[in-house]
Structure 1
Amino acid sequence: MTSDDAFSLSIGAALGDSDRENRAWGDAAMALARRVEVARTGVPSPLNVNVVFRVDGRLVPLDFTGVRTRRFSARTSDLLVQAAVPIGPAADRDAVLLRLLDEAIEAAEAFARKKKIAENLAEIRGIVASLSGS
């Protein structure tokens, strides 16, 4: 991927099982990913953030809660942030994912400041803000 092909924000999901609950979370995450694809068009960022929603399951149980930064590529300025989807049913999956996405961007901003990449990720925050009304 060239820098011209890079996306300022991308969304993924890693399911820990193939049960109905995991599939429902996966569907909700992919619906959010499609909204992000539209909202990020033409939006540059000093750090490209890939947020992966991790869903607990019997096959791949979660070993963390909240959000955590993972891999970073200095060459492409790509950062992976994982967000643990809370265990149990949710009345509004989209609201849960948006809250986790906001927490993931906070973690990415802290990483960007620590590595002296940027003081903030205002461009990505703008993308996330636009999702609340869509």
Structure 2
Amino acid sequence: MPLAPLSLKSIIGGGLEDKRWTSALDSLRGAPEELGRPSNVPFNLTVIYFVPGETYSPKFSGIRIGTFLKDFQSLTIQVALPRHPERDARAELLDLLDESIEKAEGWGKRKKLLFGPLEAARRVASDLRGNSA
């Protein structure tokens, strides 16, 4: 069954979160149609960005494996963003996306679900870079 190669989601901390993060996330979500175009991939990769705010801040830092839902063939990678971007927020999100794909590839190889790179997810990430605003 064809799956979307890559999905992007966010959890916003609320209150006084840095709007540079939320604006950059909005620009990524409005990007290429291929983000949701089904293809023959071993599993869907969903990257969830956690934007710290007053109401909620993630209890971890960096990038970690979330959950794998076998019934849906879907892996989540969780990305805890720092309170403020160090440079261009969109560029930082895209760099973290690349790192998330690498982490997912390592996980997939360890679990014997993957025997090469997540090419479709990498293509989408590359397309997102090409559509930089």
Does TM, scored on the shorter chain, surpass 0.5?
Answer: yes
Give the letter aligned to residue 100 of structure 1.
L
* Residue 42 of structure 1: how far off its partner (Å): 4.8
- TM-score, scaled to structure 1: 0.84
Give the letter aligned to residue 130 of structure 2.
G
Distance in 1, Cα, partners of 2:64 & 2:70: 18
Given that 1:12 and 1:30 are in contact with CA atoms closer than 8 Å, whether structure 2 keeps it comes out as no
* Secondary structure of the structure 1 residue equivalent to 2:71: coil
Structure 2: 5+ residue stretches without partners: none
Distance in 1, Cα, partners of 2:41 & 2:51: 27
How many residues align? The count is: 129
Query: Which residue is equivalent to 1:12?
Result: 9
Query: Which residue is equivalent to 1:68?
Result: 64
* Secondary structure of the structure 1 residue equivalent to 2:120: helix
Query: Which residue is equivalent to 1:132?
Result: 129
Distance in 2, Cα, partners of 1:11 & 1:29: 9
Give the letter aligned to residue 13 of structure 1.
S
* Residue 122 of structure 1: how far off its partner (Å): 1.6
Distance in 2, Cα, partners of 1:92 & 1:59: 24
Query: Which residue is equivalent to 1:101?
Result: 97
Q: What CA deviation, in whole Å up to 9, does each residue of 1:64-84 have, x standing for no partner?
A: 111111111112110111111
Percent identity of equivalent pairs? 29
Given that 2:68 and 2:74 are in contact with CA atoms closer than 8 Å, whether structure 1 keeps it comes out as yes
* Residue 20 of structure 1: how far off its partner (Å): 5.3
Query: Which residue is equivalent to 1:56?
Result: 52
* Residue 127 of structure 1: how far off its partner (Å): 1.4
Distance in 2, Cα, partners of 1:18 & 1:64: 20
- TM-score, scaled to structure 2: 0.85
1:85 aligns with 2:112: no
Of 69, 93, 118, 1:121 maps to 118
Q: What CA deviation, in whole Å up to 9, does each residue of 1:64-111 have, x standing for no partner?
A: 111111111112110111111122244411101001111111111111
* Secondary structure of the structure 2 residue equivalent to 1:116: coil
Structure 1: 5+ residue stretches without partners: none
* Secondary structure of the structure 1 residue equivalent to 2:91: helix
